[in-house]
A and B are shown apart, each in its own frame.
Chain A
């Protein structure tokens, strides 16, 4: 074990998560579906209760005390998110519903403004449907084309192919930081550098990266970065779109309403400054404040320590699962996040999921909203165990025992 992992007091951390302290089907819950959503620490739950118990009010409107408190906490959450991503300023942090919403915002606003007939958008084979469909529909609308970077059998991007796809017709690259199915960590800095050398901006889908590793948008150099609150131990319905301020300034609003305006007459409306231009209507105030608490919680543990601990869990899980006959891991990239997707000979993932559930083990089964990727590997679905910093090697042992049960039932 490395120093970073031996210093990691997972037993202490688990005490912060009330949901983990339960029995499911008579067995202690083993929650291995973190790529779908993460569990919430008590501090986040307390923050939400406190907000609704003591501070509930609308933001940026009232002069009364409660409104001031709510506004202060809401603004503070934005600063927390800025620090988390190391963005240059708070106005580059737009609160959105989640990753899907953030990508849709960029597609509708930036995409509509910049895309024309014959233009191209580059994505990859390993994208989640959320990072395919908005671009596909936009391309159909504009007479533009979607270009897809292929991957190798380990689940790594073919960078040479990407190089070939970058042409004067390319208007945007939209790529996932970490694959939700394969766990592959993509070389974002290199991808951005190659795109920027041709003047092409890059959006990064950070839904599966932000919960597991330190993200520095200035170091990555990307133009947009999106992640979901509920995958970083925060509430559902809140997420962050980071955008470089010069790009955001030049973009038209995505949705229209109050909060995003400076002045309104029946003849014309002057839009508000960043970030409010992109936050019409009463925002998800409690969600944003809860997200702030969640980011503080994981940042206090330390993203580098989380990454080191999860890497050790992944190494252990890979070793144990690889030793099981008839089990094939899907996604074996050299640089990989804590996702273990697998298929088993003669057993459909749904049957794996049901038998494991009887053992108290929660995994995801299905196509993981990545059907083109399933097609690439020639499988209809996979079983996926996705790890978080509150999981343990003992839980991986329980998973392996559960898989032994699957083999027993189907032998």
Chain B
């Protein structure tokens, strides 16, 4: 993997991002899901289809995160899918909150902040303000999906 140290890319195309871009995780569609959303950015054609399967305890047991577009959205979608597995929706919301805070350059209180894992690599995108929206699209899909799931739950209750 060429790192091009003479190019001032701040590691934008570094090992972790390019690994998730080249070998995206959890891209197979799920036959059935509890949450399903699609988000699209008409300005660049970036697209993400997110599916989540929950168990009876409300934990995420399966994720499908299919994205089209640039390296940033594809890597984020892959990393997000990996990070979501095994979490409750409340933990997923906390992860979303922590990721957005990182992208704004804010530091969260250590004890309450969930582990971002590979997602930490995405903070380089802050150096490229016009590309931040690429990194946020999968999270928008997650938020929209969780919101409509909660609305659906509320209606059933």
Which of B52-60, B64-72, B112-120 touches A? Answer: B64-72
Question: Residues of B contacting A410 with CB < 8 Å?
Answer: 13, 71
Quick check: A380 and B45 within 8 Å, CB to CB?
A: yes
Q: A348-B69, A380-B68 are in contact. Are A358 and B9 (CB under 8 A)?
A: yes
A276 to chain B minimum Cβ distance, whole angstroms, is 38
Question: Residues of A contacting B12 with CB < 8 Å?
Answer: 354
B7 within 8 A of A: yes
Quick check: B7 and A358 within 8 Å, CB to CB?
A: yes
Quick check: A355 and B44 within 8 Å, CB to CB?
A: no
Question: Residues of A contacting B71 with CB < 8 Å?
Answer: 348, 351, 410
- Quick one: which of B4, B13, B42, B44 contacts A350, CB cutoff 8 A? B44
Report the bound CA distance from A348 to B137 in whole Å.
16
Q: A408-B2, A409-B13 are in contact. Are A26 and B8 (CB under 8 A)?
A: yes
Report the bound CA distance from A405 to B7 in whole Å.
9
For the complex, count residues of B whose C-beta is within 8 A of A. Answer: 21
Quick check: B128 and A354 within 8 Å, CB to CB?
A: yes
Question: Residues of B contacting A374 with CB < 8 Å?
Answer: 45
B122 within 8 A of A: no
Quick check: B70 and A358 within 8 Å, CB to CB?
A: no
Report the bound CA distance from A350 to B12 in whole Å.
13
- Using a CB-CB cutoff of 8 Å, which residues 24-47 of chain A contact chain B? 25-26
A367 within 8 A of B: yes
A358 to chain B minimum Cβ distance, whole angstroms, is 5
Report the bound CA distance from A348 to B71 in whole Å.
7
B148 to chain A minimum Cβ distance, whole angstroms, is 26
- Using a CB-CB cutoff of 8 Å, which residues 386-411 of chain A contact chain B? 405, 408-411
11 contacts between A and B (CB under 8 A): A348-B71, A351-B71, A354-B131, A355-B7, A355-B13, A367-B42, A367-B43, A367-B44, A380-B46, A380-B69, A405-B4
Which A residues fall within an 8 A CB radius of B? 25-26, 348-351, 354-355, 358-359, 365-367, 371, 374, 380-381, 405, 408-411
